[in-house]
């Protein structure tokens, strides 16, 4: 006859295993949520900064003394630092923030640049005022 104590120990080990797996899954889900929040929050902040302080038709913020857009340069730099593993434990966060900066830059380019896929349009936004066929 099995010891009642060993039966309870087996159940306890099973519960511990279940809790460990649940903790790992929760950690993975939380990690994905944080990455998404960092990317979306950075994209919003970069877009708001362009709207508030940017110049020109695409509201670009340039690095002083250059024609390089700050959000584009920052996004590339942070993404490269994150992918290279330079920041060790924080590399994933650098990639998420860099991705947000790049997303904001590309969204502005698409919006202002006139990426219109409507086949009834004859010209793109930058090619002239009359963009519809006669």
What is the rounded CA–CA span in Å between residue 107 and residue 57? 14
Per the model's pLDDT, the better-predicted residue between 28 and 110 turns out to be 28
Tell me the C-alpha to C-alpha distance, in Å, between residue 29 and each of 16, 22, 35, 94, 111: 20, 10, 10, 18, 32
Looking at 30-34, 60-64, 71-75, 118-122, which range is the least confident one?
118-122
The gap from C-alpha 106 to its chain's centroid, in whole angstroms, comes to 12
Report domain extents, the chain: 34-114
Q: State the pTM of this model.
A: 0.68
**Percent of the chain with pLDDT strictly greater than 90:** 44
Distance of alpha carbon 63 from its chain centroid, rounded? 22
24, pLDDT greater than 90: yes
User: Does residue 119 register a pLDDT over 70?
Assistant: no
pLDDT category at 134 given cuts 50, 70, 90 is: very low
Residues 6+ apart with CB under 8 A from 91: 81, 82, 83, 84, 85
pLDDT per residue as tens digits for the range 57-106: 778 888 898 888 999 999 999 999 999 988 888 899 999 999 999 999 88
Flag whether pLDDT at 115 surpasses 60: no
Answer for the pair 75, 99: CB distance below 8 angstroms, yes or no. Answer: yes
In this prediction, residue 131 carries a pLDDT of: 47
E strand segments, the chain: none
CB-based contact 60:121 (threshold 8 Å):
no
pLDDT at 112: 72
Asked whether 45 and 55 are in contact (CB, 8 A), the reply is: no
Does residue 32 carry a pLDDT above 60?
yes
């Amino acid at each position: 006859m099995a010891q009642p104590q060993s039966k309870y120990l087996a159940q306890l080990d099973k519960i511990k295993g279940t809790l460990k797996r649940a903790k790992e899954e929760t950690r993975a889900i939380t990690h994905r949520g944080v990455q998404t929040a960092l990317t979306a929050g950075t994209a919003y902040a970069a877009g708001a900064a362009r709207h508030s302080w940017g110049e020109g038709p695409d509201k670009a913020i340039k690095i002083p003394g250059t024609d390089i857009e700050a959000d584009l340069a920052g996004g590339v730099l942070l993404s490269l630092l994150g992918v290279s593993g330079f920041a060790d434990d924080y590399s994933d966060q650098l990639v998420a923030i860099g991705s947000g900066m790049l997303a904001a830059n590309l969204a502005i380019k698409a919006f202002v640049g006139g990426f219109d896929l409507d086949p009834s349009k004859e010209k793109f936004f930058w090619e002239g005022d009359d963009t519809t066929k006669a």
